[in-house]
A and B are shown apart, each in its own frame.
Chain A
């Protein structure tokens, strides 16, 4: 397979991948560090390189609202946001999933205000965990590129019909120039055919009502259907990633296991942190430590069984979480993992580390320190610990 390679930032990778998808509608509002995505896409639109209707809305709330209106007509729809913008969309995220709109949303993960900060942090996306959106994280510009394309296929799958979001960390991935293997227009068209269902869609020929008032007598059934769709999204995501891997020649799975087979200890992470975790695994392996790394790519639906199997036999896991939570029993990812593993055999002790907030760098020596800390916790019999790492007291 011939592979064309280009240098791209994470944001550019998203824009170039979206160009291959050529969605019918892109409605977006600029916010750092997502801006390059909408800027590049505006270039494509104004140079006639795509057929997309670009709607330069006056807010993220209107961006998601326009996406819902467009998606309900049967259109293929894409948008991008971050942080405050994603928070402003929050109300309509629920409308998008509740009305089964397969919208794709790229997130340049950024810290929330206050204090205002424009840098990388995943809190904005993880707090959307209950919105009934399929949720993915990407480690690199390459994954940003690939997840842009495959997210449409997951979202639009007839067994799913739910919106999908994927995140790459602000600046760390969005603005870093990386090597990206690109796909051809034909590859993407074959993978994601130009098909639009107008059945049960808002169009001039269907005298149908969308967005009814649904009270106690039917509301719960509709919510339950979303849960069932989300459960099916687990299998669909696996299948779509397998198909994508075959098409692209790049292995893409809902979780990524690194040196875990014989590992006594593991790092668990998502997004860009996974790269550093793997680098530390290499360092520690050179010193003879039996350690591996698990990257969680699919966050919702949460791949409980896969995480359980990947961590089976590991003594202790260090969960590196670039998301903030306050007064919680653990880090956000840690509480999900704890729930997935509760009551199972051969499970590790779980040690959560909140780190890297507001774009603060988590250094490799710090990750090595985390490793030692986790071993100490494990040795004294502590099964669940949560720490903040890398802040001044």
Chain B
């Protein structure tokens, strides 16, 4: 079943940029933080739809850094409950508004609900809440901004941490070189719930914003996995976030796609790479710019680099098969 992505032009971006920020200046996210860039793109795309929207945010960097009392950086209705329960919280708010509308206690109209969670809350501790809410079919777009570790608590490994990455709980030891296992295939897990599922990168805002709008317009649950570069935890210079995010896509480490009920469609750079495989960059190009993979370039771990390239290739080939390339 096809999900139509709206076309977002550069002119659209120019127009939308006049709508005003939803995540306003003064928040305390790190300089270079991908989550802030992602959140601004998401909320601008939502605002451009014209209907009111509300935000539910799981505990994490985006929550902590934007709402230190008595301040808030959010120019929108925004709610945080706890770490592992943002989808359940959103389902309560959505169904409450429906009931109050049925009773005439609240005005009837279209309201979009966006739920933000990091990889810790989405891949790990809140996966049950997410799966449950999606199974029940509440009308929300869940956005996981995946920075590949529990960055908020000091860079501990999560189910979203890539193989080989150094974190404080998967350190590059003399015996074990960082995270052992590959990431949990979260997008595929959500896609298996038969809901529109997307991946996007803040390096490609038009693609990301089109997917946000498609997810919000869908009547029911939708899921968007965003690669969210984190200069602090992935260890690179703060001015390189977008470059790192681009390399993730160009190496096919983080492909951009949409999927719904077994139809898989590539978009943007990933689609171009499928058509022109010779342009696909080696994963080393993505790994070498990040300090979290530095240890893999020592002679004793060269084997690991080969394994990671093989894993990336294997995953990309499987995705191509699904997308019929």
Which A residues have a C-beta under 8 Å from some C-beta of B?
24-25, 27, 51-53, 55-59, 61-63, 65-75, 77, 91-92, 95, 194, 196, 198, 202-215, 218
CB-CB under 8 A from A55, the residues of chain B are 91-92, 95, 136
Residue B84 is within 8 A (CB to CB) of chain A in the complex: yes
B26 → chain A closest CB, angstroms: 13
Contacts of A69 in B (CB 8 A): 56, 79, 81, 88-94, 96
**Interface flag for B72 (CB, 8 Å):** yes
Residues of B within 8 A of A70 (CB): 92-93, 95-96
Among A55, A69, A202, A207, the one with the most B-chain Cβ atoms within 10 Å of its Cβ is: A69
Contact B99 A25, beta carbon cutoff 8 Å: yes
**Which chain A residues lie closer than 8 Å to B240 at the CB level?**
none
Q: Smallest Cβ distance from A258 to chain B, in angstroms?
A: 41
Residues from chain B with a CB closer than 8 A to the CB of A74 are 96, 100, 106
Taking A61-B84, A62-B85, A66-B88 as contacts, is the C-beta distance between A202 and B105 under 8 angstroms? no
Given contacts A24-B103, A73-B96, contact A209 B74 (CB under 8 A): yes
Residue B68 lies at the interface, judged by CB distance under 8 Å to chain A:
yes
Q: Which of A51, A208, A211, A218 contacts B102 (CB 8 A)?
A: A51
B243 on the interface (CB 8 Å rule)? Answer: no
From 59 to 118 in chain B, residues with beta carbon under 8 angstroms from any chain A beta carbon are 63-64, 67-70, 72, 74-82, 84-85, 87-100, 102-103, 105-106, 109, 111
Q: Which of A57, A196, A205 has the most CB of B within 10 A?
A: A57
Q: List 11 A-B contacts (CB under 8 A).
A: A25-B95, A25-B96, A53-B95, A55-B136, A57-B91, A62-B87, A69-B94, A92-B81, A95-B81, A194-B103, A211-B63
Task: Provide the bound-state CA to CA distance between A302 and B76, in Å.
Answer: 40
Are B79 and A72 closer than 8 Å at their CB atoms? yes
Which of B126-134, B185-193, B275-283, B313-321 makes up part of the contact surface?
Answer: B126-134
Residues of B within 8 A of A (CB): 52-54, 56-57, 63-64, 67-70, 72, 74-82, 84-85, 87-100, 102-103, 105-106, 109, 111, 128-129, 131-133, 135-136
Known: A53-B99, A69-B92, A211-B81. 9 other contacts (CB 8 A): A62-B87, A65-B82, A66-B88, A69-B94, A71-B92, A72-B79, A74-B100, A202-B93, A209-B67
Ranked nearest first, the 8 interchain pairs of A and B with the lowest CB-CB distance are A69-B92, A58-B132, A211-B80, A66-B92, A65-B85, A75-B96, A62-B88, A70-B96
Contacts of B91 in A (CB 8 A): 27, 55, 57, 62, 66, 69
Q: How far, in whole Å, are A70 and B128 apart by their CA atoms in the complex?
A: 19
Contacts A73-B100, A194-B105, A212-B68 given; indicate if A207 touches B92 (C-beta within 8 A).
no
Residue of B nearest to A96 (CB): B81
B93 touches A58 (CB 8 A): no
Complex Cα gap A57–B135 (Å): 10
Chain B residues with CB below 8 A from A58, complex form: 128-129, 131-132, 135
Q: Is the CB of B89 within 8 A of A66?
A: yes
Take A25-B96, A69-B56, A209-B67 as given contacts and tell me if A61 and B79 are in contact as well, using a CB distance cutoff of 8 Å. Answer: no
Could you tell me the distance between the alpha carbons of A62 and B81 in the complex, rounded to whole angstroms? 11
Question: Contact: A213 with B64, CB < 8 Å?
Answer: yes
- List the B side residues contacting A205 at CB < 8 Å: 52, 77
Give Cα A68 to B92, complex, Å: 7
Are B132 and A211 within 8 A (Cβ)?
no
Q: Which of A61, A196, A210, A218 contacts B129 (CB 8 A)?
A: A61
Task: Say whether A208 contacts B97, CB under 8 Å.
Answer: no
Query: Which of A70, A91, A215 gathers the greatest number of chain B CB atoms within 10 Å?
Result: A70
Distance to closest chain A CB from B241 (angstroms) = 24
Question: Which residues of chain B are within 8 angstroms of A52 by Cβ–Cβ distance?
Answer: 99
In the complex where A65-B92, A69-B96, A70-B93 touch, is A209 in contact with B82 (Cβ < 8 A)? no
B254: shortest Cβ distance to chain A, in Å? 29
Distance in angstroms from B60 CB to nearest chain A CB is 11
CB < 8 Å neighbour of B79 from A67, A211, A215: A211
The answer to whether A95 touches B82, judged by C-beta atoms less than 8 angstroms apart, is yes
Residue picked from B56, B64, B98, B132, most chain A C-beta under 10 Å: B132
Q: How far is the CB of B301 from chain A (nearest CB, A)?
A: 39
Q: Determine the distance from Cα of A63 to Cα of B82 in the docked complex, in whole angstroms.
A: 13
User: Which of A51, A72, A198, A202 has the most chain B CB within a 10 Å cutoff?
Assistant: A202
A212 touches B69 (CB 8 A): yes
Question: Within the complex, what minimum Cβ distance (angstroms) separates B192 from chain A?
Answer: 16
- Judge whether B95 and A66 touch: CB under 8 Å: yes
A147 to B66, CA, bound (A): 41
* A24, closest chain B residue (CB): B99
Q: Identify the closest chain B residue to A52 (Cβ).
A: B99
Least CB distance, B39 to chain A, in whole angstroms: 14
Residues B81 and A68 in contact, CB atoms below 8 Å apart: yes
Min CB–CB distance A215 → chain B (angstroms): 7
A209/B97 contact (C-beta < 8 A), A51-B102, A65-B85, A203-B77 known: no
> What residues of B have a CB within 8 angstroms of the CB of A24 in the complex?
96, 99-100, 103, 105
